[in-house]
A and B are shown apart, each in its own frame.
Chain A
Amino acid sequence: MSAQWLRRNDVIPVLFGIACLLAFFVLIEILVASGKINPFIVPKPSEIVTSFGRIIADENVLSRFFVTCGEALAASLMLAVTGIGLGVLLHRLRLLRLATETWVAAMASAPLVLMYPLFLVLFGRSVWTVIMIGFVAALPPVVLKTLEGLSGTRAVLINVGRSFNLTPSQLYWKILFPSALPTIFVGVRLGMIFALINIVGVEFLINFGGLGQLVNELSERYDLPGTFAAICFVILVSVVFFMATERIERWLRPGT
């Protein structure tokens, strides 16, 4: 059984990936130890690893991890509902779409995180400021991808529906929506990445909440190994979300 498992083709790439990562760390370790890289800019990977215990014990990193996860989850749920809803709305109302599509696209590349003072005024120095910035910044890709998926539905599939005398709402839910789902998922994923980046960024900027604040504090204290260890936890949040969406996607979209 285990021999069979080892022989499976997907194990080799995973092992190779881990090996590359380790080799990279070893290289950095050597470069820092030999003084080629300034240890006050990049700490030794081994020091980062040993500081994990410290930041878990002293800095409450686990509860901060859950705070950031919770914020990202709340923003993602709002994103999925609102973003897909707006996408559907724009798809149905041609005038609205033609009028706003370019703006929405332009908004996607705007650094909305810099508008944090406005959000502070609106929501105070609370988790809602963090969540709302993550949410708003990540909205454009979800709206645009939903729109793209719906308008990309193959004409012949719509004709099949029409030939079976589907009502407009059946046409939407039984054909357009399932056909758009893969593209919508790409949008939601992109949106989650945007949201997480902005959430951690705002936490850092306003020095409030989860991992972003911790990164801020540790770097102010010039605790470089601690800073990098905290960043590892940010990456962990991203990995968790990525894996979760992959699961949900496989469950929602069988056959592809």
Chain B
Amino acid sequence: MSSANRNTTPVNRRRFLQDAARVAGACAVGGMALTKLATDARALPAQALRPPGALPEEHFLAACIRCGLCVRDCPYDTLKLAELGLDGAATGTPFFTARDVPCEMCEDIPCVVACPTGALDHDLTNIDDSRMGLAVLIDEEKCLNALGLRCDVCYRVCPVIDKAITLELSHNQRSGAHAIFMPVVHSDHCTGCGKCEKSCVLPGEAAIKVLPIRVATADAADHYRLGWEEDTPLVDELIDLPDRLPGPGTDNLVAPGGYLPEGMPDPSMEGGFAPSYGLPGIGGAGQ
């Protein structure tokens, strides 16, 4: 307001405009730097998993105010706030590393309850519905089960055993005489808790890893129809095709194996249709 009085002379007005332009310019540069930082902050490393119920990453950064209340209420010290320069996740945001401390899938989900902003979605009330990531048997060359041994540890520790991980039996081609119990993860049940990755017995990196959903899954091929899946009809609507039974009024009387009712003219004679070739193993038309 006081600047309004001062702007009455042209010199002062020009000075005011110059000052304003200078500050605006500086803020524009600062704003661009900040925008760059904000964009970079989205690059969540694959090994950093968000807590249960976390909104999709782009939205999470609008919602999470980095208070750490989720961290405090996690009874297993699973969660951490990312530290600048040490952890890849955006500074101050909560994450966990499955190989260090996995999520124990608390039934009452205290981390979600504690979140004041809803960055962890309060609609998540059943921990089995959480999707922190998806386990992937990423190194089949080292997985002991894949090599034909019986380790089974990831399968045993899975809180959703026999649904999220199953052991699929197949023939061991190498030995020719044994079986392979291949751990297979099913995305409709795996919560991404990371218990399997944590307990994989290999030293160092695990053969089974929980990856972010966006990395671990592909989009379904909509243009191929999986006819064997009951709920996937081959055509959009059910079409009732006519039943083609041999008999009067149908047009397939000459089909191989069809029979000729009494009183009907034999279609293979007198101008009726008769194939000029012989069908193998049947010995002519009509009979």
User: A and B, one complex?
Assistant: no
